[in-house]
Amino acid sequence: MIIKVKGLRINGGIRADKVRLVDAENNQVGIVERLFALEKSREANLDLVEVSPTSDPPVCRIMDYGKWVYEQKRKIREARKKTHHTGSLKEVRLRPETDTHDIEVKVKHAREFIEKGHKVQFTLIFRGRQMLHQDKGREVLNGIVETMSDVAKVDRSGEMMGKRMTMVIAPK
């Protein structure tokens, strides 16, 4: 069976007549015929993998190739999990006449986002006659800034864009 993945030749895909063989326990067997190496790998129920095709003679190792590929993918997955993503933006939407308790709940969620390293955008949405009372919206945003001042700083202050007032805070 010929399998070629990521430049590695496996089992019947190995073309060299003589190879330097490393067995399953990482012991150097020496320079042997390719057919002898294939026979040894079949006896061990493992694969013969050409790990260094450029050397003379090529280095082949007896190992479970499928398990090795799985472990490599798992290492990549684990490394990806450990990376810390910064700069992502979370949004919290409010209305200017939102009750204080509801604002406290939203601020609590925003605090959790800040502690995880995210930026938080507060958006106040004005409808109809609420547009006449933009000062209430500014008061709400100023109250949020005061309660979050211990963990966050203002990245972009409250500004009006159409019917929305937005403010972005970032972790200190």
- What is the count of structural domains for the chain? 2
Residue 85: its pLDDT value, please?
Answer: 61
- Same domain? For 166 and 97 the reply is yes
Model confidence at 1: pLDDT above 70:
no
**Domain around 28:** 2-81
**At 108, which CATH number?**
3.30.110.10
- Pair 47, 14: CB distance under 8 Å: no
Model confidence at 2: pLDDT above 60:
no
- Same domain? For 105 and 165 the reply is yes
Q: Residue range 103-118: average pLDDT?
A: 90
φ/ψ of residue 136, rounded to 5: -65, -40
How does residue 167 score in pLDDT terms, banded at 50, 70 and 90? very high
Please provide the average confidence, as pLDDT, over all residues in the chain. 85
Domain boundary among 81, 102, 129: 81
Domain boundary among 62, 81, 100: 81
